[in-house]
A = this chain, B = another copy of it.
Amino acid sequence: MPLRSDWSDSQCPLARGLEVLGDPWTLLVLREVFFGHTRFEDLRTHTGIAESVLSKRLSTLTGHGLLARTPYRDASGRTRHEYRLTDTGEGTLPVLNAMILFAEEHLQAPSATAHMQIIHSPCGHATESADRCDACGEGLTPATTAWVSSARSGRPVPLATAAVR
């Protein structure tokens, strides 16, 4: 992120969080990882991000320990890499949820299908809290949360969880 100093050592935890998550592409990449996409090309296609920017954001996310990079071989036998959540990466879910809920409540939607819901899977209720189920009060984790995107399948998608603990 240009035009400002590194906030990793800031006295303010908000600034330290923004050092890692303050770039808008970073949260869109995490959205796709939570939706279950792990491969560079899939992340690129679903976000519309430029290759060079995606490379940098994935470096930042692995560098800060939010994603873990593991090799695999593609159909032609070439070594590629997958990006999967870590425990720290899982911890970003309330930030994404809070942003979704803010937009749903306060910003205009361009169409009737431009919406998302956050579902607490064990009880099936849509919640309007970033980190708690409104119905039963239980804390949300990726393992107990599904997102419904009306613009995608319209069905609840169980979120990806940490591959590395």
Contact = CB atoms under 8 A, between A and B. Distances in A.
Interface of A: 1, 3-4, 7-25, 27-28, 31, 50, 53, 64, 87-88, 91-92, 94-107, 109-111, 113-116, 129-132, 137, 139, 149, 151
A106 B91 contact: yes
Among A12, A19, A64, find the residue whose CB has the most chain B CB atoms closer than 10 A.
A12
Given A18-B28, A129-B129, A99 B107 contact: no
Contacts of A101: 94
B129 A99 contact: no
A102 B107 contact: no
Given A13-B115, A91-B105, A18 B99 contact: yes
Contact of A13 (B25, B64, B103): B103
A109 B13 CA distance: 8
A123 to B, nearest CB: 16
A4 B27 CA distance: 14
Contacts of A111: 11
A100 B13 contact: yes
User: How many copies, total?
Assistant: 2
A28 B5 CA distance: 14
19 contacts: A3-B53, A8-B110, A10-B110, A11-B110, A11-B114, A13-B103, A13-B104, A13-B116, A14-B31, A15-B28, A17-B103, A18-B27, A18-B99, A91-B106, A95-B95, A129-B129, A129-B130, A129-B139, A131-B131
